[in-house]
Amino acid sequence: MCKGAVCDNCSKRTWFGCGAHVPSVMDSIPKNEWCDCDPKTEKNGTEYPPMGELIVLLMLNELTDVLQVA
């Protein structure tokens, strides 16, 4: 399963996971917020950002949990 993440290099939005669910993660995020780094991941003819790092995903998930509690 893929989840949203933040790029370790440019701090923009990307994804992390198996790669099968990239469109379902990224298509709801405005393209101007997508990571611009290479290499791109292609799914169904659309180029998506490269996979993010696990450590950044964990930090994003913790922040989301904190914001939901507040």
pLDDT digits (tens, 9 = 90+) for 18-63: 999 999 999 999 999 999 999 999 999 999 999 987 655 566 666 7
Of 13, 14, 18, nearest to 1 (Cα)? 18
Tell whether the model's pLDDT for residue 11 goes beyond 70. yes
**pLDDT of the residue at 67:** 76
Contact 10, 37 (CB under 8 A): yes
Report domain extents, the chain. Answer: 3-69
Contact 7, 14 (CB under 8 A): yes
- If you search the block for the tokens 């893929």, which residue do you land on? 2
**pLDDT of the residue at 59:** 65
**pLDDT of the residue at 53:** 75
Q: In angstroms, how far is CA 33 from the centroid of its own chain?
A: 10
pTM for this prediction: 0.74
Euclidean distance between CA atoms 55 and 53, whole angstroms: 6
Q: Is 38 helix (H, G, I), strand (E, B) or coil?
A: coil
